[in-house]
Structure 1
């Protein structure tokens, strides 16, 4: 609502049903801070005009319009009919490349010239995959930026459903859009249109200076939106040790960004593929949500988990799997751990996953975030070698048996974990059989070996990449 504008409220008196309608004029009060931030929010009519421009652009870039327009132009000028088959083939080829993200749709007049940006406002867009990786990296950076400069306003726009975490971690404002597959029978075009319109409203209200995306592949709706805003400085946070022969991200999508941020991994990054992209490249150390001083001490963590402090406590987080199936990886793991009378098992349950159906006198389940805050309570762990899990185990010197997931689409977990195994900091079970799992657990049950592994893990410690990127972005903002 514009400053000073009045609105009329009509209501009936509850005491007398026959009384006439009573009108009262209320003047909306706008604080100075809100007026400074939102005082120049576009009027509703302006937003409608911009939306109609986007609708017109979508119409003009649609397959039906472009094919129909080509046919009509050929009918108007019959001499063009000779070239019509070739032009239709070209349009079909262009449409296919646009659908695959290899090529951007034709540009039309839908660019928003917003000269008034809030210098210290950032919109971040972390997606959610099978876990918290994208979300956690963005949150780690956002927390540290707020710590460095309390005036930073960081707005989350995310497909992640666990928005309560943002309140706990830093009181961040958030907008949520469910992923396309959460809707019944929603096609990609409809979802991308919804995403684009949602983002356009966020940009219009908050007028951000920076935009940061963390996801495996850029959505077309997001690309359409950020391409409309030339005033935005755009970052794509891309991490991981990628498997060989993985299809590269199309140049057209990448080149809409100004910078690519590549957190390092245990394996040296191959940045040769980045050279063909236009954005500048920024590298940093692995990004972690917590620092060592944020972990709970063993006594408090054990009390919180309900396990005796003098027991051997093992943390297990393996993702999907039927825990009651003795032939599954997690089933064989729990069965092997139960053979040790002094071992207590703490099972990590994903906050976006199904509930684990398991119980036992020496089994505890935690559904928390981040579970790494309890790492000082654990003597060793058994986990998949995902990016976050691996680097948390290394950075916090938690001896770990890794079960690298060989079926990930892009992430090379075996290659990542092997670096820690080679220095003697971790163990890897490549083929998960009952005997292999039991042998690995027997090794880690040895306290002397665990002490050696902790010392070896210290060789791989680095400064938190979240701190590095937060400082880098703050410096960029202050210098602009």
Structure 2
């Protein structure tokens, strides 16, 4: 840079000399001596300028070369740094991959140990004759849906087919008068234990139960088939039937491996229909699949008349009643929704009154507004004629029974449901003219006021009267009867010949 600045200074000096020499030649032409000096000065200036320009060009070229080398050096250093960072990342990835494979290997070993334990616990039992026809198994769920569907199927089996229940639902005591033996095993949430520990305990419990009861068929209703369930059934050669309620949330459906590869965990799949939504599910190959109609627990002939229902519920015959059957997690806090309904019904005036249904799973703190009568009955659909209409969650059972039994309803989807797409079901029922739907406070209030008018209520009743009663429970029972018959073919095995004394 010093050479560059010096060259610029020389150029400036040369330019000054050229200027002085030129001025001398212009103004002192008569004096030959001065003219010579001016000419010499101008020539010297031009020489300095020319030499300096050449020198500056050389310096500029050298500077450009140095800059290029510097950039190349920086690029090489950056590339080297990137390679080092990539090498570090690769080593980290290898280490992480190694840890992942180690973890997966441990899981496979643990699973294999559990399988061996299952097989060892049931060794020698596969030749025993079944002492039970059907063992119905349900997950805990968020309500009574799983249990109610299986109970509906059980009640449609012939009298010569024996059945028992195993459930993780805390509402199992509700089935105390069902006429069936009910086994209860607490879910991981209820027991407050980690899932791996719960799976081991459940596998041992279920294996012991299978050893004791030896059912011909196991029927499971839930969204995830437990590993121990599959392993014990396959070790004993007992068919496992999965009753797979539809209308899953799209994001949950996409993540579920079991739902679309049901043959990996079950031998048969029963897909119940839905009045409100149409869904085509691919459950995979190597699994028998049966599609049946909507499943409901209560049939029309089992419903009480209005007078009988009012009498059994202890309600005055002169009132017009609206039933709130919501549960938790709907449109905000449970009590807030009931308060909205209470205020809306009060605005309607006499003789309208709100009645709330207390779920057997509700916490003690979840109570109805003090001015609203509260009932606790199961199945509540039998008492539906006591009410002008129902405000209900949009769960599978509630919607199927309301439509099948002709119960005018406002469906309020539980947006907190993990798997069930209740919003799609509520909207589907509304679009078909089979119910009203509400997803916020304003829609709920308007729907209640609308149905309180006789014209809209009668229109809805006419639409529901044209619906054919659900037959899915009877159809599913026929499927199970066939499965039981197929599973009993080994009982025809025999032995003849001489025997040792």
Is the structural similarity TM-score above 0.5?
yes
Bigger shift: residues 171-180 or 417-426: 417-426
CA contact (8 A) 1:104 1:252 kept: no
Partner of 1:28: none
Partner of 2:162: 153
Change (3 A) 1:447 1:309: farther
CA contact (8 A) 1:402 1:426 kept: yes
Distance, in Å, in 1 between the alignment partners of 2:359 and 2:322 is: 17
Partner of 1:428: 437
Q: Summarize the alignment of residues 431-470 of structure 1 with structure 2, pairs less than 5 Å apart.
A: 431-433=440-442, 436-470=443-477
Change (3 A) 1:93 1:203: closer
Partner of 2:367: 357
CA contact (8 A) 1:348 1:367 kept: yes
Partner of 1:381: 390
Q: Summarize the alignment of residues 90-239 of structure 1 with structure 2, pairs less than 5 Å apart.
A: 90-93=101-104, 108=116, 111=119, 112=123, 114-118=126-130, 121-145=133-157, 148=158, 150-169=159-178, 171-184=179-192, 186-230=193-237, 232-239=238-245
Give 1:253 shift: 6.9
The CA deviation string for residues 309-364 of structure 1, in whole angstroms up to 9 with x for no partner, is: 23211010111269998993232122111222211211011012124434555x21
The structure with more radius of gyration: 2
Distance, in Å, in 1 between the alignment partners of 2:115 and 2:427 is: 47
Q: Summarize the alignment of residues 27-426 of structure 1 with structure 2, pairs less than 5 Å apart.
A: 90-93=101-104, 108=116, 111=119, 112=123, 114-118=126-130, 121-145=133-157, 148=158, 150-169=159-178, 171-184=179-192, 186-230=193-237, 232-246=238-252, 247-250=255-258, 254-265=263-274, 266-271=276-281, 273-274=282-283, 276-320=284-328, 328-339=336-347, 340-355=349-364, 356-358=366-368, 360=370, 363-426=372-435
CA contact (8 A) 1:316 1:345 kept: yes
Judging by fraction of residues, say which structure has more helix: 2
Change (3 A) 1:335 1:219: same
* CA-atom RMSD in angstroms: 3.1
If the length of structure 2 is used for normalisation, what is the TM-score? 0.70
Change (3 A) 1:267 1:454: same
Distance, in Å, in 1 between the alignment partners of 2:109 and 2:298 is: 40
CA contact (8 A) 2:230 2:240 kept: no
Residue 175 of structure 1 aligns to a residue in which SS? strand
Residue 328 of structure 1 aligns to a residue in which SS? helix
Residue 382 of structure 1 aligns to a residue in which SS? strand
Distance, in Å, in 1 between the alignment partners of 2:135 and 2:333 is: 44
Partner of 2:38: none
Residue 411 of structure 1 aligns to a residue in which SS? coil
CA contact (8 A) 1:305 1:364 kept: no
Change (3 A) 1:87 1:412: closer
Distance, in Å, in 1 between the alignment partners of 2:354 and 2:448 is: 12
Give 1:93 shift: 4.0
Give 1:168 shift: 1.6
The CA deviation string for residues 352-395 of structure 1, in whole angstroms up to 9 with x for no partner, is: 2124434555x211112111111111111111111111111111
Change (3 A) 1:466 1:301: same
If the length of structure 1 is used for normalisation, what is the TM-score? 0.73
Distance, in Å, in 1 between the alignment partners of 2:431 and 2:245 is: 22
Number of residues of Structure 1 aligned to a counterpart in Structure 2: 384
CA contact (8 A) 1:427 1:440 kept: yes
Change (3 A) 1:321 1:206: closer
Distance, in Å, in 2 between the alignment partners of 1:216 and 1:85 is: 32
Structure 1: which 5+ residue stretches go unaligned? 1-82
Residue 408 of structure 1 aligns to a residue in which SS? coil
